[in-house]
């Protein structure tokens, strides 16, 4: 059996073009969603999968109706195939019931992996360049040079701040940030 799936991102869009094409392709039932491709919760798609039986084919107007990115599309198609469903796209001529369709799907999987690897390489290269320029990743520290000087003065003033917890409590930073800047050796040195 053929089950059709149509999706639009906003209520201002219409599924009519998709549903007409799916009906013309012989879909016995058509399921629809009006949800952004970014959302993973697609009730229409879930209903289609509940209705379908092993060996059935899910037909879409275009592959982008199933996934928001190549890696998302590959994951969705793999999940459908694991349930015993075939996938067919009308515009791209993609059909996993054919040898060519299976080849294309495997090619998509390799491309998605390549895309992930490239992103990882670019991220690592950017971090190396940033480190060479003296920039570190992560959230900027709240422990500014002015606060460091203030904390040093407080640590030296053992009468006004007899306990380390008094110093930490007087500063607008957390305990972890404090100890990251002032390890025990440095504290002993400042406390005299």
pTM above 0.85, yes or no: no
Residue of 108 and 31 predicted with greater confidence: 31
Question: Picking from 81-85, 92-96, 134-138, 179-183, which range would have the lowest pLDDT averaged per residue?
Answer: 134-138
Which residues are catalytic, by number? Answer: 9
pLDDT value for 27: 95
Backbone CA torsion sign across 122, 127, 133, 136: positive
Tell me the average pLDDT across 23-48. 88
At 110 the pLDDT is 83
pLDDT tens digits, one per residue of 65-105: 887 777 778 888 888 888 999 999 998 888 988 888 888 87
Phi then psi for residue 149, to 5 deg, are: -65, -40
Q: At what angle do helices 70-82 and 99-132 cross, to 10 degrees?
A: 140
- Give, in degrees to the nearest 5, the angle at Cα 183 between 181 and 185: 135
Give mean pLDDT, residues 108-137.
84
DSSP state letter for 9: S
pLDDT score for 152 = 93
């Amino acid at each position: 059996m053929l089950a059709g799936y149509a999706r639009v991102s906003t209520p201002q869009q219409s599924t009519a073009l998709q549903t007409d094409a799916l009906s013309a392709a012989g879909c016995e039932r058509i399921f629809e969603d009006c949800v952004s491709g970014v959302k993973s919760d697609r009730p229409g798609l879930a209903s289609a999968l509940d209705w379908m039986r092993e060996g059935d084919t899910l037909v879409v107007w275009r592959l982008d109706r199933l996934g928001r990115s190549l890696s998302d599309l590959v994951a969705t198609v793999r999940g459908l195939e694991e349930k015993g469903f075939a996938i067919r796209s009308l515009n791209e001529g993609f059909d996993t019931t054919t040898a060519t369709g299976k080849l294309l799907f495997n090619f998509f999987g390799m491309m998605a992996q390549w895309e992930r690897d490239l992103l990882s390489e670019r991220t690592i290269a950017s971090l190396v360049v940033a480190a060479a320029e003296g920039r570190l990743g992560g959230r900027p520290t709240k422990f500014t040079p002015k606060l460091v000087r203030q904390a040093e003065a407080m640590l030296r003033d053992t009468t006004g701040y007899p306990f380390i917890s008094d110093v930490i409590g007087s500063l607008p930073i957390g305990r972890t940030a404090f100890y990251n800047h002032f390890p025990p050796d440095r504290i002993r040195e400042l406390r005299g």
